[in-house]
Amino acid sequence: MKKWIINLVAGFFGRLPVRSVTAFGRFCGRLLALVRFRHGLMDRHLQYAFPDLDQEGRNRLYRQICRHVGLLMAEDLRLPRMSRAELMDRCRFHNLDSALAVLKEGKGVFHLSAHVGNWELGLAALGEVGYPTHIVAKEIKGELGQQFVEMMRGNHGVHAILRGEQAGRRTITAIRKGYAVGFVLDQNMTWKEGIFVDFFGRPACTMSGLAVLSQRTGAPVFPVRFERDPDGYHHDIWVMPPVAWEDVEGGRDEAIRHNTQRYTRVVEEMIRLCPSQWLWMHRRWRTQPKEGRHAGVQT
């Protein structure tokens, strides 16, 4: 019923010249900074992550983050109608062959990533080059938002596996069929959903599903990093060397925790490489440890 709204918005931004979309994004970024969008929350998070950065430095970084969010919104509004030619012109791939070599053998791979750069645009570009991309994702609140995201991904060959009771089974099926399945490990989880690991020096409740499924399937975990070029137009997509599974003493749960911590360190390094392109307004540290309680490993 609401699909006509989505088609109208996507069609409008899809027909605009690229320069106009970029200008709109920059305007939105300046407006966000002007109204101090979630400034207190982001400033607190920046203090957590960069305790040596003074207020002037945090304010400068805050303005850069707002600029990034503005461009991100504008690009994503255009993405459902963005042509393959434009995606290929915008995106530069690095070391993609390492993961493709595994996929060409008919084996599936996991991708470890974060909400850095424009991850949706990067996924769309991977889909357009024939990379068999699936992503484990949380359902968007609101029917309109979910429909828009489904169109944005589906139009470029990206398939979502929604988190829930059947997500583990569907992920294993995709891996066995030789697909690439992506996990983003930079979102806050509830007590029932995650385990606690260190993230920027603070406990963060983190999804353990990637470690659980990597151990169960034996599929390699390739980190993938997205970053927007300073020119505001181009995007770089790096496929990094796989993070090999490590067994530790203490049983299965400790091994899951240990490897989830290793994956989280990779995510933290992605963010440190371009801190202005992460979503610092996300309440990443909302769930905190409580005395006498332990978050459980997903099975």
Q: Residue ranges per domain, the chain?
A: 84-277
* 299 has a pLDDT exceeding 50: no
**Contact by Cβ (8 Å): 204, 188:** yes
Q: What is the pTM of this model?
A: 0.93
Give tens-digit pLDDT for 63-78.
999 999 999 999 999 9
Give tens-digit pLDDT for 22-53.
999 999 999 999 999 999 999 999 999 999 99
Give tens-digit pLDDT for 239-293.
999 999 999 998 999 999 999 999 999 999 999 999 999 999 999 999 999 865 5
Long-range CB pairs of 43-52, under 8 A, 24+ apart, other chains included: 45/280, 45/281, 45/284, 45/285, 46/280, 48/200, 48/201, 48/202, 48/285, 49/200, 49/201, 49/271, 49/275, 50/275
Taking the C-alpha atoms of residue 28 and residue 17, their distance in angstroms, rounded to an integer, is 17
Give tens-digit pLDDT for 72-101.
999 999 999 999 999 999 999 999 999 999
